[in-house]
Amino acid sequence: MFQVISASWALLFGMLLLMVGNGVQGTLLGIRGSIEGFSTFEMSIVMSAYFAGFLGGSRMAPELIRRVGHIRVFAALGSLVSAILILYPLLAQPLAWTIGRVLMGFCLSAVYVTAESWLNDAVTNDRRGQALSLYVIVQMAGMVSAQGLLLLGDPSGFVLFIIPSVLVSVSFAPILLAVQPTPAFETAKPMSLRQLWKTSQLGCVGLFLLGGVFSALYGMASVFATQAGLAVAQISAFIATIYIGGMVMQYPIGWLSDRMDRRLLILALAAVGAVASLLAMVMGQKYVTLLVAAFFIGGTSSPLYALLLAYVNDHLEYDEMAGASGGLIFVNGVGAVAGPLITGGMMSIAGPQGFFLFLSILCAALAAYAFWRMTQSEAVPVDETVSYAPVLPTASPVAVEVAQEMFIEAAQEADAEAVQEEAGQAG
């Protein structure tokens, strides 16, 4: 672990600052939008725009990097992110914010691709698992820490927009000054959506529904909290609790994932998310209940992403896993774009509680579909499943492919050990 930190501390530190800056703006816009008088529908478009940009960036960034190089992409798009953060309070109009969010999503997606390429190149193959785990921890820690910055200023002023802009600008200094030589950049040929569907219907449906859950949760939570009348400090704690739940539950769920039928675990987590959402919808007037529900909603939705990736890989050949990542990210991204739009519509009809109603419907649908798939086919034996690897829904294609490569290597090592064991018994 110390060797991983020594080899990549500058990159991890820079990403921590970047995630703090990004985490602040996501929550802050929900609060500031209410102050500016934006309607729920207008805010849903603004929040959805980020995920549209992120989806586009994840597909276009690799080609952009090949054309002009990692460093130019990283520096140029990073500067644009910093500028957009400052422009939000100056151009407080729904259309301007929507354009800004599209650009923000695109830029950050490309930045993640670049940073994750460098991180993968900075460590040896036998330490990629540790590096990926540290990267996930840094991302979650940055998002949690970001919520505390909301207490440092007035959401109606400029300070809270300047702070993340400065953090984002500073975040690139340690990365650009300490990175190793530019890594080779290659992505696997993507698998078609038809092939993915034939391989794992539960994986495709699950990732699509989870995209809606994730984007609604992380895009519209601050909008809900503002409409529900929470104070800024309460909103900060509410959003932070969602991230904390995702960070705390990642590894226990990963441990269970390698020891049981993954379809049953998917069903159980989705059911817990549905119940927690209903609890918040019915009893969310009590703030403590709202925090408990937020912990379990975040604690189930974030690990479900990595769990569904592992489940899909259980049904793929080794040479198909890397190519599947692009299609899986696309399916999840389409769901993410739709999430805030539908949530905003439901909140316009049902009020703030429409936020939790939407989450409960999607989680219940995922649980029901997982149950139905369990009746249609046999489970993959536990000793034949690939290992779980922590990956967040915000991961770029590079991080997902790194996780896929870890799945492949772990499975190949298990096969080699099985062959050696059989040879020993035969001898």
What is the per-residue pLDDT across 67-119, written as a single tens digit (0 to 9) for each?
A: 877 777 777 888 888 899 999 999 989 999 999 999 998 888 888 877 777 77
When comparing pLDDT for 19 and 178, which is higher? Answer: 19
Q: How confident is the model at residue 405 (pLDDT cuts 50, 70, 90)?
A: low
Question: CB of 51 within 8 A of CB of 105?
Answer: yes
When comparing pLDDT for 250 and 403, which is higher? Answer: 250
No. of helices (H) and no. of strands (E), the chain: 14, 0
Question: Is residue 179 predicted with pLDDT exceeding 60?
Answer: no
Cβ within 8 Å of residue 134, ≥6 positions away: 1, 4, 5, 8, 12
When comparing pLDDT for 301 and 6, which is higher? Answer: 301
**Closest CA relative to residue 227, chosen from 340, 350, 351:** 351
166-176 per-position pLDDT tens digit: 888 888 777 77
HSE-up of 161 (CA within 13 Å, CB side)?
19
Q: What is the mean pLDDT of residues 277-293?
A: 90
DSSP assignment, residue 394? T
Give, for 408, the enclosing helix (H) or strand (E).
helix 397-426
108-119 per-position pLDDT tens digit: 888 887 777 777
Question: CB of 223 within 8 A of CB of 43?
Answer: yes
Three-class DSSP category at 184: coil
Residue spans of the domains in the chain: they are: 2-419
State the pLDDT at residue 102. 94
Q: Is 2-419 CATH 1.20.1250.20?
A: yes
Cα 104 to chain centroid distance, Å, stands at 15
